[in-house]
C-alpha cells in the first residue's frame, strides 16, 4: 500500500486518521473493536451467527488505551476491555471508517 497514515488523533469515541493522499477517515472505536481481525474474534463471529457479534458491548464505553505500529503495514490496538491481539493492516483501516 502506497498510502500511509500521516496523523492519528483520538477524540473519544472517534479515532481520526489522516492519510498521505489527503483523505481523512473517522473510525468509531466500538466498530473497530467489533471488526477485530484476530483469529479469536473471527471464531466468535462465526459462532455468533445471525444474532451478531458485539464484544464491545455498550458502544459508549469502549476506548483505545494504546495504538502501536506493527512494521510499516499495520497497527495493533489495545482496547479498554484489554483486547490487543488484532493486527489492523493499513489496507483494512483504509477500507473502514467514514471519509470526511
pLDDT tens-digit map of 1-48: 689 999 999 998 999 999 999 999 999 999 999 899 999 988 888 888
Q: Which domains does the chain have, with CATH numbers?
A: 5-99 (3.30.2020.30)
State pTM to two decimals: 0.87
Buried b (16+ CB within 10 A) or exposed e, 40-54: ebeeebeeeeeeebe
30-to-4, 38, 64 alpha-carbon distances in Å: 23, 15, 9
Longest dimension (CA), the chain: 39
Output the pLDDT for position 2. 87
Q: What is the pLDDT of residue 50?
A: 74
Question: How do residues 36-92 score in pLDDT, each as one tens digit?
Answer: 999 998 888 888 877 777 776 645 578 999 999 999 999 999 999 899 999 999 999
User: Shortest CA distance to 30 belongs to which of 96, 100, 94?
Assistant: 96
Amino acid at each position: 500500500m502506497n498510502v500511509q497514515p500521516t496523523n492519528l488523533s483520538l477524540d473519544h469515541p472517534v479515532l481520526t486518521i489522516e492519510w498521505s493522499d489527503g483523505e481523512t477517515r473517522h473510525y468509531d472505536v466500538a466498530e473497530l473493536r467489533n471488526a477485530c481481525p484476530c483469529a479469536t474474534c473471527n471464531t466468535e463471529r462465526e459462532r455468533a451467527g445471525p444474532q451478531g457479534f458485539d464484544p464491545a458491548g455498550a458502544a459508549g464505553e469502549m476506548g483505545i488505551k494504546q495504538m502501536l505500529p506493527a512494521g510499516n503495514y499495520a497497527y495493533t490496538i489495545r482496547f479498554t476491555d484489554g483486547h490487543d491481539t488484532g493486527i489492523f493492516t493499513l489496507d483494512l483501516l483504509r477500507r473502514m471508517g467514514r471519509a470526511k
